[in-house]
Amino acid sequence: MSAATLLLVHGAGGSHLTWRRQFDKLSDKFRIIAIDLPGHGRSEGGGEVTVPAYCRHVLDLMESLDLRNVVLGGHSMGGAIALEIALMGSSRVGALLLVGTGARLRVLPAIFSIIREDFVVAIEGVGNFMFGSGASGDLINEEKQLLAKNSGDIMLKDFTACDSFDAKDRVGSISLPTLIVCGKEDRLTPSKYSEFLHEKIAGSEAVFFDECGHMPMLEQSDKFNNCVSSFLLKL
Ligand code: COA
C-alpha cells in the first residue's frame, strides 16, 4: 500500500514553514505537501478575503497534482479551509487533521486595529499571543520573524477571511476520519472550539496538549508528530 499523502495548509499570516518541524520527522513514512497560499511564503498573489476563495487554491493544487485520498490538514485559518473543503464534498479528501482551529473563527477587533496602525507592534502582540507557557523565547522570536515576512495587507485579508467563517451549523455533517489537536492554553482558537468540533464530527479523535498554545506543531513537535503518525497509520 502506498504511503498516505498529508496536504498541510497554514493559518493567517503563515506559510509552509508553519510545518517545518513536521517535514523531517514525518516524511520518512508519509508524503508531505505543505502549500503556500497566494501571497504567503513563496507564492505570488494578493491573498483572499474569504475562506471559500482560499479553498479554490487548495482544490486547484489537489487537482493539478492529481492527489487522491488525501489527508487534508489545516492550522487555524487552514483548518477552516480544510473544513470547508470537506463540506464541499471533495472526493480527493479521505481524512482531516484539524490543528488549533474551529467551526467559527471570529477575530478580536483589536487585532484588526493594531495591524492597521502598526504592523511591527502587531507582530509582537500576535506573536506573543500565539504561544503557551511551555514555548521557548527562541521559538517565539523565530515565529515573529516569519510572521514579519508576510505583509500587513495579507494578514488583514487572512483575518477578514477568518472573521466571516462560520460552519458551526454544518460541521456535524462531516463523516471523514478526523484528528483534532489543540493546545489547552490556545488563546486564538480556545480549546472549546476543538471540543465543539470533536462533539460534532462523529468518530473524531481529539488530543489536547498541556502547556501549549496555538502552535502545537511547533511547541510540542515530537508529541504532535507521534499523534499524527499514529492517526495516519490507522487509516
Ligand atoms: N466553536 C464553538 N463555539 C464557538 C466558536 C467555535 N469555533 N466560536 C464561537 N463560539 C461560541 C462562543 O464561545 C460564544 O458562546 P457563549 O455565548 O456561550 O460564550 C458564542 O459562540 C459567540 O462567540 P463569538 O462568535 O466568538 O462572538 P463573541 O462576540 O462572543 O466574541 C471574540 C468575539 C472575537 C471576542 C471571540 O471570538 C474571541 O475571543 N476570539 C478569539 C480571539 C481571536 O481573535 N482569534 C482569532 C481567530 S483566527
Q: Over range 32-57, report the average pLDDT.
A: 97
Q: In sequence order, what DSSP letters do the residues of the chain get, joined into one string?
A: -PPPEEEEE--TT--GGGGHHHHHHHTTTSEEEEE--TTSTT--S---SSHHHHHHHHHHHHHHTT--SEEEEEETHHHHHHHHHHHHT-TTEEEEEEES--SB----HHHHHHHHH-HHHHHHHHHHHT--TT--HHHHHHHHHHHTTS-HHHHHHHHHHHHT-B-TTTGGG--S-EEEEEETT-SSS-HHHHHHHHHHSTT-EEEEETT--S-HHHHTHHHHHHHHHHHHHH-
* The ligand 1 atom nearest the CA atom of 102: 7
Task: List all residues whose CB is within 6 A of at least one atom of ligand 1.
Answer: 12, 76, 102-108, 111, 162, 188-189, 192-193, 196
* Percentage above 70 pLDDT, the chain: 99
Cell 520573524 locates to 145
| Per-residue model confidence (pLDDT) at position 2 | 67
CATH code of domain 5-234: 3.40.50.1820
Can you tell me the mean pLDDT for 161-189? 98
Q: Which of 77, 104, 170 to mutate to test the pocket of ligand 1 (most atoms within 8 A of CB)?
A: 104
Q: What mean pLDDT, rounded, does the chain reach?
A: 97
Whether 38 shows a pLDDT value over 90: the answer reads yes
Query: Which pLDDT does position 125 carry in this prediction?
Result: 93
Alpha carbon of 78 to ligand 1 centroid (Å):
18
Cell numbers for 163? 472573521
- Identify residue 2 by its one-letter amino acid code: S
Distance CA 235, CA 213 (A): 27
Convert the pLDDT of each residue in 45-87 to its tens digit.
999 999 999 999 999 999 999 999 999 999 999 999 999 999 9
**pLDDT at 3 (0 to 100):** 80
Average pLDDT over residues 184-190: 98
* Residues in contact with 170: Cβ distance below 8 Å, sequence separation at least 6, in sequence order: 87, 103
What is the 107 CA–ligand 1 centroid distance (Å)?
A: 8
* Span 104-162, pLDDT tens digits: 999 999 999 999 999 999 999 999 999 999 999 999 999 999 999 989 999 999 999 99
pLDDT at 1 over 90: no
**Per DSSP, what are the bridge partners of residue 203?**
none
Cα separation, 167 vs 98, whole angstroms: 14
Q: How far is the CA of 52 from the centre of ligand 1 (A)?
A: 20
